[in-house]
Amino acid sequence: MKKNIQPLLWLMAVLVTWSACKKSNDTVTNNPVPTDTTSNPISSPAKENFESGTKDSYDPSSISLSTGKWHFNNAVIGTTGDDRRNDNKSARIQGKGSISMNFDIVGGVYRVAISSGVFGTDGPSTWQLWVSYNSGSSYSQIGNDITTTGTVLQHDTIVINAVNKVRFAIRKSSVDNNRLNIDDVSAILTSGPLAPNFADDNHMLLGNPTNATPSPLDEENYYMDKGYYALCYQRSLGIPKWVSWHLSTADIGSTPRQDDFRPDDDLPVSWYHVSDQSYAGSGFDRGHQCPSNDRTLTVPANSSTFLMTNMIPQAPNLNQGAWQKLEDSCNRLVTLLGKEVYIICGSYGTGGTGNNGLLNSIDNERISVPARLWKIVVVLPNGNNDLSRITTGTRVIAVDMPNDNTVGIGTDWKSYRVSVDALETIMGYDFLSNVPAAVQQVIEAQVDNL
């Protein structure tokens, strides 16, 4: 559960936000109204990658791109080696410049996803997403200010939830000489995140911590139902953001480990598909998120865990040590102690230490190596009406482990226990969101000590 800020701070934030929006609701002097204000509307979903445009001058003007005409103010199309981009081009903004749509998107937009990076050796830049619901007559900021700090493209998503026509402007708000690259602006059409599913034993019973959607345009928050578990995939990193599953005696049998590591053909065709050889020679294990040992009832169930969308590059000593020990402990809770468990795990950060030392990526930079691995386990006695049986006395295990080979194989997983609150603070996720708020407040603050 995400925590509310103190009432006084909340009031101050509201006043500051109201003041800023009141002053900036209409087009401001550093974002002049373009002469060419209209091009044909397009239907959602839509994605602009800036590949079809050319603009070398920072002078204000409108240019034609694949989605329609955009107005560039103190901005150009960047193609140099210092421009951060996914393909050959990206937008580059300097000063308090902006890029704005001269057209509407119709049909509804739920979320906007934007990639950004620091140009060359410049410092961080802060920027904002502004939205217009009246064909550009007025704009207001939506979402919080976003600060871009790295030379590797970061990916941010902002919930819009617009039902009718909408257009967007991206404005660099920091007053500095730093330049900002913007790429792959995606307007994502869904009916919203997945509807909550409160049925017993389903893999998403406890919630959707990042509001992942099944839209292929939601490239960094792409929901996949694998039948035997659910996951959220990050296209740019080549690894899952999180994997979630339920484990009970109904999942346990005598099926041997299949070891059929393979690409996941359910990914969109245009995406890079990590293969069974992508980790070869990297010094990292193909680290299961949903473990093979949790799916031994049938061959298809076990085989599903060897899809590469269920893997991250994991330091061998950690994978075969503390991480596996926690997996085994969860399995024993079910097979020996009459429990059923709900598990979600993932990773965050960049840079892990495997057999070949510290690496930020593998497979020609197509797969990111995370710095940390986390897991949350909710333990219940076998029974029915699972959600209603989660109380303030329910055992919740949360861990945060370094992806580092210096973690000895004999290390006890219990030394890495943290609270769920601590993980939420680090990553900004909202765990256990389907659990009543009063129960969340208690169980998310505790650190397991059993």
- DSSP classification of residue 320: T
Residue 59 burial by CB count (10 A; 0-12/13-18/19+): exposed, middle or buried? exposed
Please state whether 207 falls in left (phi above 0), alpha (psi between -120 and 50) or beta: left
d(CA 256, CA 254): 6
| 438 and 319 in a common domain | yes
Q: What is the pLDDT of residues 215-263, one digit of tens each?
A: 887 889 999 999 999 999 999 999 999 999 999 999 999 999 999 999 9
Residue 2 has pLDDT above 60, yes or no: no
Alpha helices in 184-339 (DSSP H): 299-304, 316-319, 322-335
| 226 and 146 in a common domain | no
| 228 and 180 in a common domain | no
Residue where the block lists tokens 């065709």 = 269
What is the structure's pLDDT at 28?
37
Domain enclosing residue 131, as ranges: 26-188
| End position of a domain, from candidates 168, 188, 208 | 188
d(CA 321, CA 60): 58
- CA distances to 53, 63, 81, 119 from 57, rounded to whole Å, are 13, 11, 18, 16
Asked whether the bond before 34 is cis by omega within 30 degrees of 0, the reply is no
Cross-strand pairs, 169: 100, 130
What is the structure's pLDDT at 6?
41
What is the structure's pLDDT at 25?
34
Tokens of 37: 């204000």
Residue 85 lies in a domain: yes
| 382 and 242 in a common domain | yes
| 227 and 181 in a common domain | no
| 296 and 427 in a common domain | yes
Residue 37 has pLDDT above 70, yes or no: no
Q: Predicted confidence band at 190 (pLDDT cuts at 50, 70, 90)?
A: low
Instruction: Compute the average pLDDT of residues 211-217.
Output: 85
| 174 and 74 in a common domain | yes
What is the structure's pLDDT at 162?
82
**Around Cβ 202, how many Cβ atoms within 10 Å?**
16
Q: Predicted confidence band at 29 (pLDDT cuts at 50, 70, 90)?
A: very low
CATH number at residue 274: 3.40.570.10
Of 102-116, 146-160, 340-354, give the range with the top mean pLDDT: 340-354
d(CA 318, CA 325): 10
Rg, C-alpha atoms of the chain: 23
- Which of these is catalytic: 71, 155, 246, 288? 288
Better pLDDT: 161 or 241: 241
Average pLDDT of the chain?
Answer: 90
Would you call 288 a catalytic residue per the annotation? yes
What is the structure's pLDDT at 15?
34
Residue 104 lies in a domain: yes
What is the structure's pLDDT at 188?
78
CATH number at residue 106: 2.60.120.260
What is the structure's pLDDT at 425?
96
CB proximity list for 19: less than 8 A, separation 6 or greater: none
Better pLDDT: 290 or 13: 290
Q: Predicted confidence band at 314 (pLDDT cuts at 50, 70, 90)?
A: very high
| End position of a domain, from candidates 188, 205, 232 | 188
Residue 4 has pLDDT above 50, yes or no: no
| 392 and 260 in a common domain | yes
**Around Cβ 268, how many Cβ atoms within 10 Å?**
12
Strands 42-43 and 105-106: parallel
Query: Nearest 10 degrees: CA dihedral of 190, 153, 372, 342?
Result: 0
Residue 366 has pLDDT above 60, yes or no: yes
d(CA 367, CA 317): 20
Of 422, 423, 424, 399, the residue nearest 412 (C-alpha): 399
| End position of a domain, from candidates 188, 205, 237 | 188
What is the structure's pLDDT at 192?
56
Residue 12 lies in a domain: no
| 259 and 126 in a common domain | no
What is the structure's pLDDT at 275?
97
- CA 12 to chain centroid, in Å, comes to 29
d(CA 183, CA 204): 32
What is the structure's pLDDT at 160?
84
Residue 17 lies in a domain: no
* One-letter amino acid for residue 357 of the chain: G
| 257 and 123 in a common domain | no
Residue 215 lies in a domain: no
| 231 and 157 in a common domain | no
CB proximity list for 1: less than 8 A, separation 6 or greater: 424, 430, 431, 432, 433, 435, 437, 440, 441, 444
Number of domains making up the chain: 2
Residue 51 lies in a domain: yes
Q: What is the pLDDT of residues 65-93, one digit of tens each?
A: 999 999 999 999 999 999 999 899 999 99
What is the structure's pLDDT at 9?
36
What is the structure's pLDDT at 32?
44
Residue 21 lies in a domain: no
Residue 106 has pLDDT above 60, yes or no: yes
Residue 439 lies in a domain: yes
Residue 19 has pLDDT above 70, yes or no: no
d(CA 56, CA 34): 18
Angle at 162 between CA 53 and CA 222, to 5 degrees: 70
Q: Which of 45-54, 186-195, 229-238, 348-357 has the lowest mean pLDDT?
A: 186-195
| 265 and 170 in a common domain | no
